[in-house]
């Protein structure tokens, strides 16, 4: 494939045509129901109270530089041959399970990518990589806890020390706390779902933007995983509680739960809503990146809904009955179900398919598993809200 045979030399970098959507079938549907969320499961999961919240005890790992960069001798040979191969380097956050792991596997198996698995649990990630048979030479596990800005900064420093170029960053990790009665918080004191899924990734992406910009890879990309449940122009997005960022007053207040709301809109804590809100932030952030940086950097910014991967660890905090019924419900009733493997192929496509280079797009797949440019909800495509979200987030993560 042309994408992978690009030269390491900027002068021979090939440019791809803008991607075309190859289907017009949309999954959008309006369903204006607004039901109260008092059907909340009465079951309480193992909540981590704020007091008990401790830093993850993870082994400190020194990441050694690996030899993906070309030596001068090789460079010279390449010049002579005009073309040479180099593996793409892709960081995937939360690659220790579910979609992230399946994507890492799909990319590593091609032999054309070196996957940096950015994970909070180093040993789990190593085991996961081995258990799905990712070739050893095609991945590196690096520690990243998105629920701590210190950890994000440490990860970025370690990555830079490795000397690898960065070609694609995939912001995939997420937590979902649908049964939590009380909010829990990141190391920096932000409500955990938005703190991890949005703020951690926001800081990570901002700190790595320059590396992406520097990459000489033919198509460099920043991908942030979104979801249908954050989009209220769909049936799934109308299942209560619905995503709603309001005027962002809770976010401005710091999401700390101390003298301010832990929710972005300033309301009462609701774990399912916090997750959906965080996905709206992910989709807004991708578009704001596109508006601010696409022209200047030529980086492709994209988001996606990979399908309903009803069997992943995302639902680990949900009640057992939900975990039992959810996969058959999605398979046989909504038909929105997709296997981890298939979803991994989809995200891998957004990482490396030469046809998906268009920036600012929210990708989805139709029944035949063909990708198409999907429409975001009114809120998830609100440019003014995206700008405001960006500015507040910058302050919260300490960049402004």
> Looking at the annotation, which residues are catalytic?
275
Q: How far apart are CA 48 and CA 36, in angstroms?
A: 26
From 325, 383, 399, 400, residue interacting with ligand LMG (rule: CB under 6 A): 325
Q: Spell out where the chain has E strands.
A: 88-93, 113-119, 139-143, 168-171, 221-225, 300-304, 361-365, 371-373
Residue window 208-247: x/- pattern of binding to ligand NDP, with contact defined by CB under 6 A: -----------------x-x--------------------
Instruction: Name which position in 228, 245, 251, 376 contacts ligand PMR (CB under 6 A).
Output: 228
What part of residues 330-359 is at the interface with ligand LMG (CB under 6 A)? 333
Angle at CA 346, nearest 5°, toward 341 and 348? 90
312 binds, among ligand LMG, ligand NDP, ligand PMR, none (CB under 5 to 8 A by kind): ligand NDP
Binding range to ligand NDP, per CB under 6 A, among 40-48, 88-96, 161-169, 214-222: 88-96
Beta strands in 286-378 (DSSP E): 300-304, 361-365, 371-373
User: What's the full length of the chain, in residues?
Assistant: 400
Q: Which two tokens stand for residue 285?
A: 């952030």
Q: Which pair of tokens denotes residue 4?
A: 């992978």
The residues that bridge with 89 in the sheet, in sequence order, are 114
CA distance 246 to 276: 13
Tokens of 196: 């991890």
Nearer to ligand NDP by Cβ, of 217 and 365: the residue is 365
Task: Say if CB 117 and CB 105 are below 8 A apart.
Answer: no
Q: Least distance to ligand PMR from the beta carbon of 222, Å?
A: 20
Identify which range of 36-44, 98-106, 158-166, 379-387 contacts ligand LMG by CB under 6 A. 36-44
The candidate with the shortest Cα–Cα distance to 36, out of 273, 227, 230, is: 273
What residues numbered 110-169 form the site for ligand NDP, per CB under 6 A?
119-121, 124, 144-147
CB of 191 to ligand LMG, least distance (A): 16
> Residue 244's closest CA among 226, 262, 252, 232?
232
336 binds, among ligand LMG, ligand PMR, ligand NDP, none (CB under 5 to 8 A by kind): ligand PMR
Rounded Cα distance, 83 and 6, in Å: 7
How far apart CA 301 and CA 169 sit, in angstroms, is 10
Separation between Cα atoms, residue 273 and residue 250, nearest integer Å:
13
Rounded distance between C-alpha atoms, residue 313 and residue 205, angstroms: 24
Output the smallest distance, CB 140 to ligand PMR, in A.
27
CA–CA dist 264, 246 (Å, integer): 7
Binder of residue 325, out of ligand PMR, ligand NDP, ligand LMG, none (CB less than 5 to 8 A by kind): ligand LMG
Q: Is residue 237 a contact point for ligand LMG (CB under 6 A)?
A: no
Contact flag: residue 151 with ligand PMR (CB under 6 A): no
> Does residue 280 belong to the site contacting ligand PMR (CB under 6 A)?
no
Q: Should residue 326 be labelled a site residue for ligand LMG when binding is judged by CB under 6 A?
A: yes
96 forms part of the interface with ligand NDP (CB under 6 A): yes
Does 226 sit near ligand PMR (CB under 6 A)? Answer: no
Quick check: helix, strand or coil at residue 11?
Answer: helix
Positions in the binding site for ligand LMG (CB under 6 A): 33, 35, 37, 39-41, 178-179, 238-240, 272, 322, 325-326, 329, 333
Positions in the binding site for ligand PMR (CB under 6 A): 176, 178, 227-229, 235-236, 239, 272, 275-276, 308, 334, 336
Positions in the binding site for ligand NDP (CB under 6 A): 93-94, 96-100, 119-121, 124, 144-147, 172-175, 196, 225, 227, 279, 305-306, 308-310, 312-314
């Amino acid at each position: 494939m042309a994408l992978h045979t690009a030269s390491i030399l900027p002068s021979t970098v090939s440019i791809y045509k803008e991607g075309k959507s190859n289907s017009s079938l949309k999954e959008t549907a309006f369903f204006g129901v607004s039901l109260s969320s008092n059907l909340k499961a009465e079951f309480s999961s193992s909540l981590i109270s704020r007091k008990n919240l401790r830093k993850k005890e993870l082994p400190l790992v020194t990441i050694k530089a690996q030899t993906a960069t070309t030596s001068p001798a090789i460079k010279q040979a390449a010049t002579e041959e005009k073309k040479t191969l180099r593996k793409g380097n892709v960081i995937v956050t939360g690659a220790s399970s579910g979609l992230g792991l399946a994507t890492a596997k799909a990319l590593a198996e091609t032999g054309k990518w070196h996957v940096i698995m950015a994970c909070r649990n180093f040993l789990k990630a190593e085991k996961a990589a081995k258990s799905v048979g990712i070739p050893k030479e095609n991945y590196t596990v690096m520690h990243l806890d998105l629920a701590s800005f210190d950890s994000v900064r440490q990860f970025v420093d370690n990555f830079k020390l490795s000397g690898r170029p960065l070609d694609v960053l995939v912001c995939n990790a997420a937590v979902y706390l649908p049964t939590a009665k009380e909010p829990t918080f990141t190391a920096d004191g932000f409500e955990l779902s938005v703190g991890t899924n949005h703020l951690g990734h926001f800081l990570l992406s901002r700190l790595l933007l320059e590396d992406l910009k520097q990459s000489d890879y033919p198509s460099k990309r920043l991908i942030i995983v979104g979801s249908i449940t954050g989009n209220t122009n769909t049936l799934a997005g109308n299942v209560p509680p619905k995503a709603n960022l309001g005027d962002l007053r809770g976010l401005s207040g710091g999401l700390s739960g101390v003298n301010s709301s832990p929710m972005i809109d300033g309301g009462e804590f609701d774990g399912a809503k916090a997750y959906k809100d965080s996905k709206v932030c992910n989709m807004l952030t991708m578009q704001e990146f596109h508006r601010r940086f696409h022209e200047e950097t030529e980086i492709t910014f994209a988001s996606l809904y990979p399908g309903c991967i009803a069997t992943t660890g995302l639902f680990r905090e949900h009640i057992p009955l939900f975990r039992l019924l959810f996969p058959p419900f999605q398979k046989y009733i909504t038909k929105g179900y997709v296997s981890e493997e298939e979803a991994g192929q989809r995200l891998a496509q957004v990482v490396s398919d030469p046809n998906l280079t268009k920036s600012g797009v929210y990708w989805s797949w139709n029944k035949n598993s063909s990708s198409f440019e999907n429409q975001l909800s009114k809120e998830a495509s609100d440019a003014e809200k995206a700008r405001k979200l960006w500015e507040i987030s910058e302050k919260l993560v300490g960049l402004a």
